Structure 1
Amino acid sequence: MNEKLRVLVSVDLDGAKARVKTQGHVTLQSIQGLYDVMKRADSLVPGLALELDMTLAEVEPQALEELRGCARSHHLPLQVDPLQRDYRFSILAPTLVALPVAAPMLAAA
């Protein structure tokens, strides 16, 4: 899996919606960049309905849960959006959920 995060934003201003298509590996670290993209897309038209398309991404379970929590609360994390504006977004679930990386086992001597 490609470790880079690729994002394509398609905006329909007439329909007041945007699709944020994400590819690559979404982690708790890379999700911060994704939040910035979502915030910027919403700034084009306040109240824009965002669709986060993660069908082609590999997403770590903790990152997916954090995104789902944001979708439920209609807010991005406080450090990303201190004003806590209302965001309307839905998530198209990934086909692959990344498994947690296990620590390597040390051979017993």
Structure 2
Amino acid sequence: MNEKLKVLVSVDLDCARARVAAQGHVTVRSVQALYVVVKRANSLMRGLTLEVDMTGAWVEPDALAQLRACSRSHHLPARIDPHQTECRISILNAGETGSIAQELLLTA
């Protein structure tokens, strides 16, 4: 697994959805950079649904816990987004690919 974090953002403004796909190693330090990318994607459109795809990454458990906390609270950490803008995030990780893939097929 590559130690560097690589991120690809795909946006569909017509459907108000964005996917932030991470590859490499996601640590509690590098997840901060991921938050910045998510914040920028979220600023493109009010009410945008964001999917953070971690299936191509090795994610440290503490970093995944932080991402899940953001998903539950609908906010990024205050140091990243001091205004605490609503951010609808869903996390897709290797252990959840089946159920999310089925959900995406049903909504397509």
TM-score (norm 2): 0.85
Measure the CA separation in 1 of the matches of 2:21 and 2:66.
18
Query: Rg: which structure is higher?
Result: 1
Amino acid of the structure 2 residue aligned with 1:10? S
| Alignment correspondent of 1:50 | 50
Matching residue's letter, 2:93: A
Q: Distance in 2 between matches of 1:81 and 1:13?
A: 22
Which secondary structure does the structure 1 equivalent of 2:43 belong to? helix
- Structure 2: runs of 5+ lacking an equivalent: 96-108
Aligned to 2:5: 5
> Once the 2 structures are TM-superposed, how far is the Cα of residue 17 of structure 1 from its aligned partner?
0.4
Q: Which residue of the partner structure matches residue 60 of structure 2?
A: 60
**Alpha-carbon distance between aligned partners in 1 of 2:57 and 2:79, rounded to the nearest angstrom:** 24
> Does residue 77 of structure 2 align to residue 80 of structure 1?
no
- Match of 1:44, SS? coil
- Give CA deviations for 1:43-77 in whole Å, capped at 9, x if unaligned: 11122100000001000000000000010000000
Instruction: Tell me which residue corresponds to 2:29.
Output: 29
Identical counterparts, % of pairs: 64
Work out the number of aligned pairs and report it.
95
Coordinate RMSD, CA, aligned: 0.8
Q: Mind listing any 5+ residue stretches in structure 1 that lack a counterpart? A: 96-109
Residues in 1 aligned to 2:46 and 2:22: alpha-carbon distance in whole angstroms? 21
Q: Which runs of 4+ in 1 moved over 6 A?
A: none
